[in-house]
Structure 1
Amino acid sequence: MLVLLVLACVIPEAILSISSGYFRGWIYQNFAFWPGLLQGWSGNYPGQWALMFVSYAFLHGGVLHLSFNMLTLVSLGRPLVDALGQLRFLVLYLLSALGGAGVYALLAHDPVPMVGASGALFGLAGALVGEQISLARKNGGAAAAWKALIPPSLFLIGINVVMYVTLSGQLAWQTHLGGFLSGLAVMAALQHQQHGS
């Protein structure tokens, strides 16, 4: 599953990197996440407003953006595939991408397109944190669960602040937040399902 997700991101960027800037613009116009499509803009085709909630996560803003995200995908994804299995991992990944887009839609105000897998990747981070919270709760109760949540959350906030400053504000932090919260929620639901069955 990790290989398929990596290929699903690498192949489009490879094609865009060797094609004209016009083609990248056309792909972004049709498959990036555009908040305006939820605020009265006309789409380029029926259902664009719905498809963009997933399609944005398979596009990137260049080779560096793609490389960083794919390294993160592999490093965070391996332990989760082992813990959840292929199908549940895919569900986690896609729901995190959807959650990232949903929070971006609610909080972003700029009419610029948003692309990248980072909403789903922050969902994977949220799932790993959720797994640690569950283990801490079993072994040490509610106080231990809070201790498992706070340090990694502060670390991720710090990463976002550094990236926001470094990238001069060109960061979809809203997507990161939505992905992280979605990953936490999906992992909690999957663990509940596993313990309930």
Structure 2
Amino acid sequence: SLGEAGLLGGPGAVGWRLGLIRDYGFSGDIFDWMVANGRYPPDQLLRLVTYPFIHLGFSHALFGIVLLLALGKLVSEAMGQWAFTVMFFGSAILGAAAYAVVLDDPTWLSGAYPGVYGLIGGYSFVLWRRLEGSGPGQYRAFSLIAVLMGLQLIWGMLFETGTLWLAELFGFFTGFGLSFVLAPGEWDKLRALVQRR
């Protein structure tokens, strides 16, 4: 941001962010090429875990950090730090992979949001379990994701936002799904359910 403002690095600093996105962002086209050719170069696979650290601007990074801190605290308190780490990176990786497989969008993916939405999935899972037995009230656990997706829809109608929100939605479903294994006591419930069948 300082380079783009001309305060650091001279004239060449204007392209620093684009260079970072090119070198560390996630490209659906590159992912499609890897799957089609059955070749997975480590430097290209690394993009699945580096793209959440590259943002499009200061405000894009700031909102991502605020959401990560708030939701990360909630999820790590409910499930533990290891579960938080697995959920964040698992949601970022699977959110990006699903984005590449489902869409043929050449737009590069960057930012922490698919991982953050995975944490929203984990948080929703915790609320869902807490409200278990309350009947229709249990679905209040999904109010946060409903509000966020509603805001995404309104924002998309006002401004051309593209399809990047789908990676976030895939991240949410990944985080929610991982909670069936990562949340305390859930692994035992899942194992007991499988043994009964």
Q: TM-score, normalised by structure 1?
A: 0.78
Q: Determine if the alignment matches structure 1 residue 107 to structure 2 residue 102.
A: yes
Q: Distance in 2 between matches of 1:164 and 1:91?
A: 30
Regions of 4+ moved over 6 Å: 13-17
Q: How many residues align?
A: 180
Q: Determine if the alignment matches structure 1 residue 189 to structure 2 residue 184.
A: no
Q: Determine if the alignment matches structure 1 residue 21 to structure 2 residue 3.
A: no
Where structure 1 has 5 or more consecutive residues not aligned to the other structure, the ranges are 1-12
Greater helix content:
1
The residue that corresponds to 1:160 in the other structure is 152
Q: Provide the secondary structure at the position in 2 that maps to 1:39.
A: helix
Q: Distance in 1 between matches of 2:147 and 2:182?
A: 25
Question: Is contact 2:24-2:51 (8 Å) kept?
Answer: yes
2:29 to 36, 40, 46: 36
Question: Is contact 1:96-1:178 (8 Å) kept?
Answer: yes
The amino acid that maps onto 1:28 is I
Q: Determine if the alignment matches structure 1 residue 57 to structure 2 residue 52.
A: yes
Q: Distance in 2 between matches of 1:56 and 1:67?
A: 16
1:67 to 62, 65, 80: 62
Q: Distance in 2 between matches of 1:48 and 1:159?
A: 35
Question: Is contact 2:78-2:126 (8 Å) kept?
Answer: no
For residues 20-42 of structure 1, the C-alpha deviation after alignment (integer angstroms, 9 at most, x for no partner) is 13332222111101111023389
Q: Distance in 2 between matches of 1:64 and 1:158?
A: 21
Where structure 2 has 5 or more consecutive residues not aligned to the other structure, the ranges are 192-197
The residue that corresponds to 2:134 in the other structure is 140
Q: Distance in 2 between matches of 1:92 and 1:15?
A: 33
Distance 1:195 1:67, change over 3 A: same
Distance 1:194 1:88, change over 3 A: farther
Q: Distance in 2 between matches of 1:78 and 1:49?
A: 31
The residue that corresponds to 1:91 in the other structure is 86
Distance 1:76 1:15, change over 3 A: farther
Q: Distance in 2 between matches of 1:118 and 1:55?
A: 13
RMSD: 2.8
Q: Distance in 2 between matches of 1:194 and 1:30?
A: 42
The amino acid that maps onto 1:140 is S
Larger-gyration structure (1/2): 2
Q: TM-score, normalised by structure 2?
A: 0.78
Structure 1 residue 165: deviation in Å?
3.1
